[in-house]
A and B are shown apart, each in its own frame.
Chain A
């Protein structure tokens, strides 16, 4: 960016320039003295990019990231064909969701029983290795989505199932019985379908058209396993 071929005979001329034009004027040439003021129309924008994010307050950083995560949550809850999840992928959301789900799913007992629910680490490993496997599968089938984009989408689409887990825990506080189970079953099925629809909306376009079902089936299996863990969760 520092080699401006065209530049800068007179940096003082305040002609309207496109974005980042000011950066192209930063070339140290022997015969052209670079001095004076550079006035660029989009100055405030440039300044924002010029100042590094190290100088801002921690609250700014956290709020910016949280807002990005929240925006993506909205995209998952109301799935439309948009590119936001793919374009600005991040793994904060999947991490938050996975940790929440694993914390809620783990069995609270400390005795070494052999067959109870999963532990925190097991849920964590299942979610992340399942997502990695599905991503590898979709890439092997010829999809043109990047590794982390796919992880991002799969992680964010666990949000409906996390909501289902919360609802199930609340419902389990009530009187147990068949109605209790039916309500939980209904909620889990609805959220499972929502997850599948949301992830398909984002992932299906990246696959070759005659292999979409092959790529979606592992996603189905993945969310089915998570739904099963949620449905069979029994509190202590």
Chain B
């Protein structure tokens, strides 16, 4: 068919132009140029379609629609679409989020409308472990300085910090950060569909399943017009990544677009240095950098609102992020109590006799424990009179009371005077 061959030559050029224009169809049409039916379709692309071409056209539209409609949330491939990143993309997004630039929209430039969930999850996991590990390390280092502190592996603190860090995880201030940011962003845009879900996350009662629940909405949201559509995943993506900043360490790979808690992995290492003002300084620096990243990313989205609303929203975002940062720093959440200059929470405290009972790790020894330490202090509820020097009000000492000749604090109760 000479005519078809002639057409084939022309069609190829036109078809390549078409391919250049419609990127989505490139891979689907590329191998269909040879059959003449498709050649005819390509020629008549703008106008009418022949009877024989309707099948091809319907296939094409069906394919496009299939690309637009995501699989249902009960299928595995739905979740696979959230992990569709390469190593180079992930590293690129980390770099982009670590160095926020004012005119450089992170969402557009790095995310390119394809957020992922690899980053939020693994950054948070890494942050939880880093908190636990550095908390443990701080304890060891402090024990070396002050041998009266008992060392223990502190396993449950790590567990707690891990639980708190999961976005929307159980309880605590931390989880409120990302959830509340999402809530604010969504409400600001007026997309109420999943507002309640986000509020539930902000309350800290729903864990990662909340992410999955929010996915259907987000997924639909991703294809709605406007910048607000990305806001669902944006805070989730944004938040862990900002945590990367500020420590001076390389940090774990943060998947795209998550300025957020990944910034906080870094100060953990600097917080090992037992100088209080340095710790607060590094924490403030990390907070400033990550908050800057968040603000730069969110500003193009919220500036369309009234000035007051935009400023209010951004200030709440920064405040919640600051809560997260201080939550890492403040003792009891895997932070470094010992960096606060006290002897550590393991020290007995006469101010709170009930607390002192739990202030011992009882049967754990510290890392270089001498063999002669007793393994079990008694756990009586009486207040302890401790022989070693402590900050705070000094306890009355019996005259002639001798400091026991062992390393480490025993906190044996002194016999009461005259009783």
Which residues of A pack against B, CB within 8 Å? 107, 109, 111, 113-118, 122, 137, 139-142, 176-178, 180-181, 210-214, 217-218, 221, 224-225, 228-229, 232-236
Contact status A176-B153, CB under 8 Å: no
Contact status A214-B126, CB under 8 Å: no
Interface check B129, CB cutoff 8 A: yes
A116 contacts across to B, CB distance below 8 A: 152-153, 155, 361-364
Contact status A111-B362, CB under 8 Å: yes
Contact status B152-A234, CB under 8 Å: yes
Provide the bound-state CA to CA distance between A211 and B87, in Å.
5
Contact status A214-B365, CB under 8 Å: no
Given A113-B363, A236-B375, A218-B155 contact (CB < 8 Å)? no
Provide the bound-state CA to CA distance between A159 and B5, in Å.
66
Known interface pairs A212-B87, A236-B364; 9 further A-B residue pairs with C-beta atoms within 8 A, sorted by A's residue number: A107-B363, A111-B376, A113-B360, A113-B361, A114-B358, A142-B80, A180-B368, A214-B87, A224-B129
How near does chain A come to B376, taking the closest CB pair, in angstroms?
8
Contact status A118-B363, CB under 8 Å: no
Q: What residue in chain A is nearest B255 (Cβ atoms)? A: A214
How near does chain A come to B215, taking the closest CB pair, in angstroms?
13
Given A107-B363, A115-B154, A117-B155, A225-B129 contact (CB < 8 Å)? yes
Interface check B136, CB cutoff 8 A: yes
B133 contacts across to A, CB distance below 8 A: 228
Provide the bound-state CA to CA distance between A162 and B371, in Å.
26
Provide the bound-state CA to CA distance between A234 and B151, in Å.
9
Contact status B80-A140, CB under 8 Å: yes
A140 contacts across to B, CB distance below 8 A: 79-80, 82-83
Interface check B125, CB cutoff 8 A: yes
B159 contacts across to A, CB distance below 8 A: 122
Given A115-B157, A221-B129, A234-B87 contact (CB < 8 Å)? no
How near does chain A come to B93, taking the closest CB pair, in angstroms?
12
B252 contacts across to A, CB distance below 8 A: 217
Q: Interface size for chain B: under 10, 10 to 19, 20 to 34, or 35 or more residues?
A: 35 or more
Provide the bound-state CA to CA distance between A211 and B253, in Å.
13
Q: Indicate with 1 or 0, residue by residue over B73-100, a CB within 8 angstroms of chain A CB atoms.
A: 0001001101111111010000000000
Interface check B122, CB cutoff 8 A: yes
How near does chain B come to A150, taking the closest CB pair, in angstroms?
15
Contact status A176-B375, CB under 8 Å: no
Given A113-B364, A116-B361, A214-B85 contact (CB < 8 Å)? yes
Provide the bound-state CA to CA distance between A229 and B88, in Å.
32
Provide the bound-state CA to CA distance between A188 and B237, in Å.
35
How near does chain B come to A203, taking the closest CB pair, in angstroms?
15
Which residues of B pack against A, CB within 8 Å? 76, 79-80, 82-88, 90, 118, 122, 125-126, 129, 132-133, 136, 151-157, 159, 252-253, 358, 360-371, 375-376, 379
A228 contacts across to B, CB distance below 8 A: 129, 132-133, 136
**A113: which of B90, B362, B367, B370 is its contact (CB, 8 Å)?**
B362
Provide the bound-state CA to CA distance between A109 and B153, in Å.
14
Q: What residue in chain B is nearest A224 (Cβ atoms)? A: B129
Contact status B136-A232, CB under 8 Å: yes
How near does chain A come to B366, taking the closest CB pair, in angstroms?
7
Given A116-B152, A221-B125, A225-B129, A234-B85 contact (CB < 8 Å)? no
How near does chain B come to A73, taking the closest CB pair, in angstroms?
28
Contact status A234-B153, CB under 8 Å: yes
Provide the bound-state CA to CA distance between A228 and B375, in Å.
23
Provide the bound-state CA to CA distance between A118 and B127, in Å.
20
How near does chain A come to B135, taking the closest CB pair, in angstroms?
10
B88 contacts across to A, CB distance below 8 A: 210
Provide the bound-state CA to CA distance between A53 and B136, in Å.
51
Q: What residue in chain B is nearest A126 (Cβ atoms)? A: B159
Contact status A141-B368, CB under 8 Å: no
B152 contacts across to A, CB distance below 8 A: 113, 115-117, 234
Given A141-B83, A214-B90, A221-B125, A229-B367 contact (CB < 8 Å)? no
Q: What residue in chain A is nearest B375 (Cβ atoms)? A: A236
Provide the bound-state CA to CA distance between A115 and B345, in Å.
12
A212 contacts across to B, CB distance below 8 A: 87
Contact status B153-A232, CB under 8 Å: yes
How near does chain A come to B142, taking the closest CB pair, in angstroms?
14
Closest 4 CB pairs of A and B: A140-B83, A109-B363, A232-B153, A210-B86
Contact status A229-B363, CB under 8 Å: no
Provide the bound-state CA to CA distance between A122 and B132, in Å.
15
How near does chain B come to A84, taking the closest CB pair, in angstroms?
28
Could you show 30 A-B contacts with beta carbons less than 8 Å apart?
A: A109-B363, A111-B379, A113-B360, A114-B361, A115-B154, A115-B156, A115-B157, A116-B153, A116-B155, A118-B153, A122-B159, A142-B80, A176-B369, A176-B370, A177-B368, A180-B368, A181-B367, A181-B368, A210-B88, A213-B87, A214-B87, A214-B253, A217-B122, A217-B253, A218-B125, A225-B129, A228-B129, A232-B153, A234-B153, A234-B369
Provide the bound-state CA to CA distance between A236 and B376, in Å.
10
Contact status A234-B86, CB under 8 Å: no
B79 contacts across to A, CB distance below 8 A: 140
Provide the bound-state CA to CA distance between A234 and B154, in Å.
11
B87 contacts across to A, CB distance below 8 A: 210-214
B368 contacts across to A, CB distance below 8 A: 176-178, 180-181
Contact status B126-A233, CB under 8 Å: no
Contact status A122-B155, CB under 8 Å: yes
Provide the bound-state CA to CA distance between A157 and B372, in Å.
38
B80 contacts across to A, CB distance below 8 A: 140, 142
How near does chain A come to B143, taking the closest CB pair, in angstroms?
12
How near does chain A come to B136, taking the closest CB pair, in angstroms?
6
Q: What residue in chain A is nearest B117 (Cβ atoms)? A: A140
How near does chain A come to B138, taking the closest CB pair, in angstroms?
13
Contact status A234-B365, CB under 8 Å: yes
Contact status A117-B369, CB under 8 Å: no
Provide the bound-state CA to CA distance between A111 and B377, in Å.
11
Contact status A115-B129, CB under 8 Å: no
Q: What residue in chain A is nearest B253 (Cβ atoms)? A: A217
